[in-house]
């Protein structure tokens, strides 16, 4: 049986063979613990981590000591939010975020709210975007942190993070940005964005799973962030635990490759994404496109189909690997909180497919995907008496 066409690159990506190649010696030859400071095995591993840290920092426009390696973006987000809130509680207890954030931001925010922090969750416009004046209006004297993602994982909408960060800075409010879906897909420079904290995850840009980083800008240091994981003082005391050397080396190599290729690849995927979009919209009526028409990731297309049952839509689509919304919450039968925040009616939110294209995606795959989707939706509509 042939495997379905994979169009779910926002959920995860295959590891690039060049990344695997860079990682392999770390499992065998350079297996040392970078914390072993008394022998050559440890020194070799520490040198690999130092080199990886320098490369990640350079790719993001920050200093090496500003990169804290974590197990991925979920942990990075938790550290950014809970670590800042706990450290800053004396200064204030108000946090601002947005309704379409990933659960890895919303859940820690809700936990903090249950612990006595005050939370403002900003709504979005019909394209899924927050406007800077909304953020300014939400700021209070006791606001300590604003958390706003750069690119949404389900609909691809980009937020004006640099503008928001500049406005927050004037008010002395810290800014965290979950850039997990943006890194590698569009240029991301943490310094130019002007944020204090930035999360990323290697498996979204052809690196391994289980590794990522939190960028902690220098000005957000000393006492401004407390660790969640303690025990040995690794990563400047902000994230203890023996370092995942192969993962860290893989993360750095993957980021370097993605950044080198970013512009050309973004253009290629943009063209393919538009071909997919026009192919489907040109042959089917009653299709709603979600996300911002322009301020959007080049690889992402979210479409809602009128007149079809959501469950049937996905179940019958065996030749395509796509997502009903966020892969991380697809075990949850409620409609996606992102689509709900857009104001999409429930029946449409349920009948939504997220297509996300990636490095291996070909023109032939896109052409085939258009045929598969059109045929399938037409069949479902015929079965329910709708043309
Ligand atoms: N934030 C966003 C925007 C994401 O898309 C994801 C992954 N779905 C995460 C955070 C969580 O990342 P990780 O898989 O590294 O925990």
User: Any idea where the domains of the chain sit in the sequence?
Assistant: 5-13+262-383, 17-260
Q: How far is CA 381 from the centre of its chain?
A: 34
Sheet holding 287-290, edge to edge: 287-290, 300-305, 352-356
pLDDT computed for residue 221 by the predictor:
67
CA of 74 to the centre of ligand 1 (A): 6
pLDDT computed for residue 384 by the predictor:
81
Is residue 372 within 8 A of residue 332, CB to CB? The reply is no
Selecting among 109, 168, 251, 328, the annotated active-site residue is 328
Mean pLDDT, rounded, of the chain: 95
334 has pLDDT over 90: no
Is 220 a pocket residue for ligand 1 (Cβ < 6 Å)?
A: no
Same fold, 5-13+262-383 and 17-260: no
Is 181 a pocket residue for ligand 1 (Cβ < 6 Å)?
A: yes
Which two structure tokens, joined as six digits, stand for 67? Answer: 């990169």
pLDDT computed for residue 55 by the predictor:
98
Q: Would you tell me which CATH number, out of the four given (3.40.640.10, 3.40.50.300, 3.40.50.880, 3.40.50.1980), belongs to the domain 17-260?
A: 3.40.640.10
230 has pLDDT over 70: yes
Task: Return d(Cα 306, Cα 313) in angstroms, integer.
Answer: 11
**Environment class of 118 (CB within 10 Å of its CB; exposed 0-12, middle 13-18, buried 19+):** middle
Tell me the average pLDDT across 92-105. 98
Task: Return d(Cα 200, Cα 263) in angstroms, integer.
Answer: 19
Tell me the average pLDDT across 262-291. 98
Tell me the average pLDDT across 176-193. 98
325 has pLDDT over 60: no
Protein residue whose Cα sits closest to atom 7 of ligand 1:
11
Is 178 a pocket residue for ligand 1 (Cβ < 6 Å)?
A: yes
Task: Return d(Cα 189, Cα 297) in angstroms, integer.
Answer: 16
Tell me the average pLDDT across 348-359. 96
Residue 328 annotated to the active site: yes
Domain spanning 5-13+262-383 has what CATH number?
Answer: 3.90.1150.10
pLDDT band at 326 (very low <50, low <70, confident <90, very high): very low
**Environment class of 343 (CB within 10 Å of its CB; exposed 0-12, middle 13-18, buried 19+):** exposed
Tell me the average pLDDT across 172-185. 97
168 has pLDDT over 50: yes
pLDDT band at 1 (very low <50, low <70, confident <90, very high): low
CA of 12 to the centre of ligand 1 (A): 9
pLDDT computed for residue 335 by the predictor:
83
């Amino acid at each position: 049986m042939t495997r379905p066409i994979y169009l779910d690159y926002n959920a995860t990506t295959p590891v690039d063979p060049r990344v695997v190649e860079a990682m392999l010696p770390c499992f065998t030859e350079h297996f040392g613990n970078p914390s072993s400071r008394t022998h050559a095995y440890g020194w070799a591993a520490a040198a690999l981590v130092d080199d990886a840290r320098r490369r990640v920092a350079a790719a993001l426009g920050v200093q090496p000591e500003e990169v804290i390696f974590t197990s991925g973006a979920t942990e990075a987000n938790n550290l950014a939010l809970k670590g800042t809130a706990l450290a800053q509680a004396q200064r204030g207890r108000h946090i601002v975020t947005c309704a379409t954030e990933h659960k890895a931001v919303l859940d820690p925010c809700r936990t903090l709210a249950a612990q006595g922090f005050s939370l403002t969750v900003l709504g979005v416009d019909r394209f899924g975007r927050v406007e800077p004046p909304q953020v300014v209006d939400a700021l209070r004297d006791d606001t300590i942190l604003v958390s706003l993602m750069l690119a949404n994982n389900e609909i691809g909408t980009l937020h004006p993070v640099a503008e928001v960060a500049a406005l927050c800075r004037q008010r002395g409010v810290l800014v965290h940005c979950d850039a997990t879906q943006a890194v590698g897909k569009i240029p991301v420079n943490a310094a130019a964005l002007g944020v204090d904290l930035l999360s990323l995850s290697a498996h979204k840009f052809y690196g391994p799973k289980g590794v990522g980083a939190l960028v902690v800008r220098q000005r957000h240091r000393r006492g401004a962030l407390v660790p969640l994981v303690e025990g040995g003082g690794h990563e400047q005391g902000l994230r203890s635990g023996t370092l995942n050397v192969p993962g860290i080396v893989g993360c750095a190599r993957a980021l370097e490759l993605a950044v080198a290729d970013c512009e050309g690849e973004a253009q290629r995927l943009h063209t393919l994404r538009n071909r997919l979009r026009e192919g489907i919209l040109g042959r089917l009526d009653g299709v709603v496109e979600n996300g911002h028409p322009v301020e959007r990731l080049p690889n992402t297309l979210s479409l809602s189909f009128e007149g079809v049952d959501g469950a049937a839509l996905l179940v019958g689509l065996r030749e395509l690997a796509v997502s009903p919304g966020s892969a991380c919450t697809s075990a949850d039968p409620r409609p996606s909180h992102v689509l709900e925040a857009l104001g999409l009616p429930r029946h449409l939110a349920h009948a939504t497919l997220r297509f996300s294209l990636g490095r291996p995606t070909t023109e032939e795959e896109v052409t085939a995907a258009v045929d598969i989707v059109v045929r399938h939706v037409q069949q479902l509509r015929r079965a329910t008496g709708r043309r």
